[in-house]
């Protein structure tokens, strides 16, 4: 009975996939209208960075990136509301400890490099934040239960930093400039760098805290 | 055009595989793998459409959409796994209480401020009569004022001693109603 | 022609890894196949001239997502072993 049901579902989904394939073929054979890519690539020089993906993420669609950081924050709040963090793994043996000694500083350094190079080459805030989060995950796997993160108050400030700096810059530009997140022409590069740095730290801390998986346990001394 | 259709077709195939697995499998980890594979298929369709061949630069707008999508998918997966762990903990407490002790017959000592000031919890208003605030009356006075200002129920914050916070009540009834 | 063959091999491996992740009998193996699928997807995206996305998928999608699910799969495997042992013990 269960096997028959899964077979029936398989056939129905295969039909759905065939329909979607036909739709894709029909869409691709149509004549495309004006594409957004042309607009995006045409004014790339004024956007402050020369990597088109970074320009789209942090200049043309900075509002969407701000909301994405808010989604990360919301997911972390959901995880934190469910209970304290599970206890970590046992302290690592010497081989894993030696590897962690090498890899974690390299990951942090590479994250910083990714943040800077995202302006003109593949990279950017999300990749750099992912490397920082990976450093935290490695530390937790090697036996450090807090994944290298600071205490709970500091973590709260750091995870709010991403969406907060975006909102702050947008608010200042709303009051004193052209509008919410409309960068003034000469200063786009520095504003983007500022917002990317804040986003990197926030993403790294959020991903590592999501891997820890619960509220940070208080120490006995910090009651 | 040919490469776009080939890669887009593979993306649709991945979406179909993920959708089938989501509907067929029962355990949450398999469903999460299925959702992530389906999501990967959707992202793949985006990237296939953005590909312009080796001569022209690719379209950056779908790339930005996919980057946002990857991060959102991983954070949703992390939240789903945390919820799953919490559900498993509650199931374990249920089975342990159901097999451990018979229900108590003495009246429960209830400190009113902890069980009645969570009206935001939709289910806790009806349960306020049956759910005892703290299990043994002796330890009632001390943690209750500390827990009262927090929202979201009492048992969620102190998990260090799950056995202590669940015994002493008519456990299976209170815990069974706690499962939303 | 050769590039087309390369594309076909890439995509066949991708779909085969997805099938392996979905059809494998135990959850731990499924998660490991999922990590491999994520890394292979990142490779395919690098071929499609999307290096930013390839980096992000390898780090976040495959790496972090796989690490998150590995702990849950280990717990799921342990629970199913425990329940199987209980079933045999009480039978």
Indicate the residue of C11, C37, C49 with minimum beta-carbon distance to B51: C49
Interacting residues of A84 by C-beta distance below 8 A, sequence separation 6+? A214, A215, A216, A217, B157, B158, B159, B160
Query: How many other CB atoms sit within 10 Å of the CB of residue A153?
Result: 10
Beta strand segments in B89-135, E: none
Kindly tell me the sign of the dihedral angle through the C-alpha atoms of B135, B163, C71, B17. negative
State the average pLDDT over residues A65-76. 95
Res B108: pLDDT: 53
Contact at CB, B85 and A52, closer than 8 angstroms: no
Domains of chain B: 2-100 (1.10.287.3510), 112-178 (no CATH)
- Say what the ipTM of the complex is: 0.91
Which letter does DSSP use for residue B130 in this model? T
Within a 10 A sphere around the Cβ of C84, how many other Cβ atoms? 10
Q: Which of B18-27, B114-123, C12-21, C65-74 has the lowest mean pLDDT?
A: B114-123
- A9 burial class (0-12, 13-18, 19+ CB within 10 angstroms)? middle
What pLDDT band is residue A31 in, cutting at 50, 70 and 90?
confident
Q: How many CB pairs under 8 A join B and C?
A: 116
Backbone angles phi, psi at B102, to 5 degrees: -70, 155
- A133–C67 CB contact, under 8 Å: no
Residues 6+ apart with CB under 8 A from A89: A140, A141, A142, A143
Run of H or E including C36: helix C27-47
What's the pLDDT at C81? Answer: 83
Torsion of CA A68, A69, A72, A77, to 10 degrees: -130
CB contact under 8 A, C61 and B63: no
CA-CA distance, A222 to B158, in Å (whole number)?
Answer: 16
For residue C78, give every residue at least 6 positions away whose Cβ sits within 8 Å of its Cβ, in sequence order, or none: none
pLDDT class for C80, splitting at 50, 70, 90?
Answer: confident
Chain C residues whose CB is inside 8 A of the A134 CB are: 59, 63-64
Give the mean model confidence (pLDDT) for residues A173-191. Answer: 87
* A44 lies within 8 A of chain B by CB: no
Of B2, B18, B77, which is closest to C65 when you measure between CB atoms? B77
Q: Is the pLDDT assigned to residue B75 strictly greater than 60?
A: yes
Q: Are residues A47 and A59 in contact, defined by beta-carbon separation less than 8 angstroms?
A: yes
Contacts of A16 (CB under 8 A, 6+ apart): B16, B19
- Which parts of A81-124 fold into alpha helices (H)? 94-117
Interface with A, mutate which of C15, C35, C48, C56 (most A CBs under 10 A): C56
Q: How far is CA A170 from the centre of its chain?
A: 19
What is the reported pLDDT for B102?
Answer: 64
The model's confidence at residue B162, banded by pLDDT at 50, 70 and 90, is very low
* pLDDT band at A148; cut points 50, 70, 90: confident
Lowest mean pLDDT among B92-101, C25-34, C49-58: B92-101
CB A82 within 8 A of CB A214: yes
> Which stretch, A216-220, B87-91, B99-103, has highest mean pLDDT?
B87-91
What is the domain partition of chain A in residue ranges? 48-217
Q: Is residue B104 scored above 70 in pLDDT? A: no
At residue B77, the pLDDT reads 96
Q: Sign of torsion, CA A205 A209 A215 A218?
A: negative
Q: Is a pLDDT exceeding 70 seen at residue C1?
A: yes
Burial A103-126 (b: 16+ CB within 10 A, else e): bbeebbebbeebbebbbeebbbbb
Residue of A nearest to C46 (CA): A122
Are the C-beta atoms of B37 and C22 separated by less than 8 Å? yes
């Amino acid at each position: 009975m269960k096997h028959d049901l899964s077979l029936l579902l398989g056939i129905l989904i295969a039909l759905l996939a065939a329909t979607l394939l036909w739709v894709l073929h029909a869409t691709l054979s149509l004549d495309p209208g004006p594409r957004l890519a042309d607009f995006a690539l045409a004014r790339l020089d004024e956007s402050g960075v020369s990597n088109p993906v970074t320009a789209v993420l942090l200049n043309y669609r900075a509002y969407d990136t701000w909301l994405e950081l808010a989604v990360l924050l919301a997911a972390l709040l959901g995880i934190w509301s469910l209970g304290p963090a599970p206890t970590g793994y046992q302290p690592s043996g010497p081989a894993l400890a030696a590897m962690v000694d090498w890899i974690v500083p390299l990951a942090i350094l590479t994250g910083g490099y990714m943040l800077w190079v995202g302006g003109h080459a593949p990279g950017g805030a999300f990749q750099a934040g992912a490397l920082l989060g990976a450093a935290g995950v490695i530390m937790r796997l090697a036996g450090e239960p807090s994944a290298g993160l600071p205490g709970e108050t500091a973590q709260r400030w750091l995870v709010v930093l991403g969406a907060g700096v975006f909102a702050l810059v947008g608010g200042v530009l709303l009051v004193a400039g052209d509008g919410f997140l409309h960068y003034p022409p000469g200063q786009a590069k520095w504003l983007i760098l500022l917002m990317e740095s804040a986003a990197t730290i926030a993403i790294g801390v959020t991903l590592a805290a999501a891997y820890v998986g619960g509220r940070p346990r208080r120490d006995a001394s910090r009651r | 055009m040919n490469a776009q259709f080939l890669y887009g077709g593979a993306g649709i195939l991945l979406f179909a595989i993920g959708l089938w697995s989501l509907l067929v499998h029962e355990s949450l980890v398999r469903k999460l793998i299925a959702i992530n594979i389906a999501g990967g298929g959707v992202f793949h369709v985006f990237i296939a459409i953005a590909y312009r061949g080796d001569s022209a630069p690719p379209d950056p707008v779908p790339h930005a959409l996919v980057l946002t999508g990857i991060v959102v998918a991983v954070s949703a997966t992390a939240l789903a796994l945390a919820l799953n762990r919490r559900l498993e903990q509650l199931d374990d407490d249920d089975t342990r209480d159901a097999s451990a002790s018979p229900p108590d017959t003495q009246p429960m000592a209830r400190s009113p401020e902890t069980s009645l000031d969570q009206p935001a919890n939709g289910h806790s208003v009806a349960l306020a009569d049956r759910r005892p605030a703290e299990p043994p009356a002796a330890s009632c006075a001390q943690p209750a004022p500390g827990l009262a200002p927090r929202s979201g129920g009492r048992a969620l914050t102190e998990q260090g001693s799950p056995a202590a916070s669940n015994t002493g009540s008519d456990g299976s009834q209170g815990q069974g109603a706690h499962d939303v | 022609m050769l590039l087309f063959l390369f594309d076909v091999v890439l995509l066949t491996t991708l779909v085969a890894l997805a099938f392996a992740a979905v059809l494998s009998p135990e959850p731990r193996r499924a998660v490991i196949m999922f990590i491999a699928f994520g890394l292979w997807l990142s490779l395919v995206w690098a071929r499609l001239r999307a290096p930013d996305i390839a980096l992000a998928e390898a780090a976040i999608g495959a790496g972090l997502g796989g690490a998150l699910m590995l702990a849950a799969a280990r717990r799921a495997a342990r629970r199913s072993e425990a329940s199987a042992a209980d079933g045999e013990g009480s039978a």
